[in-house]
Amino acid sequence: MSAAERMRRGLLLLVISAGLSGMAATPVAGDVVLNNDGAPGGLRLQNSGPTMSLSSKIIVERVRDGRWIETPVRMDLVEKCAVEDPPVCVSVAAGTTVITVPWRGNNCSGQCPHSCRSNQYVGPGQFRFVVKSCDGTRTVTGPEFVMPAGN
């Protein structure tokens, strides 16, 4: 094997190694799974991969005219209500399951008590939850569920 071939193979191995190590350090969206939990509005987040930094703001989408659109509601990635707002980003450790306080269908105080000027029920309809990584590169979408009429 010539010196040029050895150099080409060495560079190729270096590029492959760098790519694999980069892949191992970057979690994939498939490591985080969203499932409905219990009554409509319940959410179970499972992280089977490495620790991830996720946005504490859960996006709520609904079906309108056959398309999924973001609904302006407040839903946070929290397991219990607190006086203070959650941090912008939440670290979810490897092997962790987070069961959020269920969303009851209201636009402001639908999950935890908040001071609202006009708290309205946004159902009935088909909804789903979406969670993003803090860096915005990963998006995980949960299964749809039906929020019934009334609250």
The model carries a pTM of: 0.78
* Closest alpha carbon to 133 in 49, 36, 42, 35: 49
Q: What is the pLDDT of residues 33-61, one digit of tens each?
A: 999 999 999 999 999 999 999 999 999 99
Domain boundaries, the chain: 28-147
Residue 103's pLDDT band (boundaries 50, 70, 90)? very high
Residue 140's pLDDT band (boundaries 50, 70, 90)? very high
Residue 80's pLDDT band (boundaries 50, 70, 90)? very high
pLDDT at residue 66 in the model: 95
124-127 contact pairs (CB < 8 A, 24+): 124/148, 124/149, 124/150, 125/62, 125/63, 126/62, 126/63, 127/40, 127/41, 127/60, 127/61, 127/62, 127/63, 127/71
CATH number of the domain at 28-147, please?
2.60.40
Say how many residues make up the chain: 151
